[in-house]
Amino acid sequence: MSMYKTPCMHEPLSAVVQRCCDARNRIFLDIAKSLRLPSPDNPAMDANRLADLLAKAGEDYDTRNAASAAYRYAMPDISTRQGIKDYIACVLHGMTVDAINHKDGARLLAGARIALAAHRGRRGKGAEKANTSGHPQIPSQPAA
């Protein structure tokens, strides 16, 4: 079942993933509220009316793109190891709820893999492994 036309309506998840979902949901809710005609007789919006408006908002291509962009902008920074793990969790959840399409998700996960590899290289163990090409080191020539 595709969820790209609807906000995340699941139980709260980890704080980082929930932040991404909340950013996406705000776009859907803002558009749905803007579609509502104000009525002094009925200022409250019942659940059925909200669901109808969310469905109508989800039909709009620009709304879906804006919601997807909001989700991605809320994703964590990948400058720390934990940030990379949280980023991966957000990408995977985003792919699950169709906030991120699978082609973009694959690219984002590849980027996270590169960031994780670069982060592993910062541990200080890389100094001995500077020549990992498998080729013998050529001694430097003395200056003539």
Q: Is residue 53 part of a domain?
A: yes
- Pairwise CA distance, residues 116 & 9, whole Å: 31
Residue showing tokens 């910062």:
122
Total domain count, the chain: 1
Which residue range is the domain that position 116 belongs to? 15-122
At 45 the pLDDT is: 56
Q: Is residue 114 part of a domain?
A: yes
Evaluate if pTM is beyond 0.85. Answer: no
Q: Is residue 102 part of a domain?
A: yes
Output the average pLDDT for the chain: 76
Question: Model confidence over 10-23: pLDDT tens digits?
Answer: 787 899 999 999 99
For 37-51, 74-88, 102-116, which range has the lowest pLDDT when averaged over its residues?
37-51
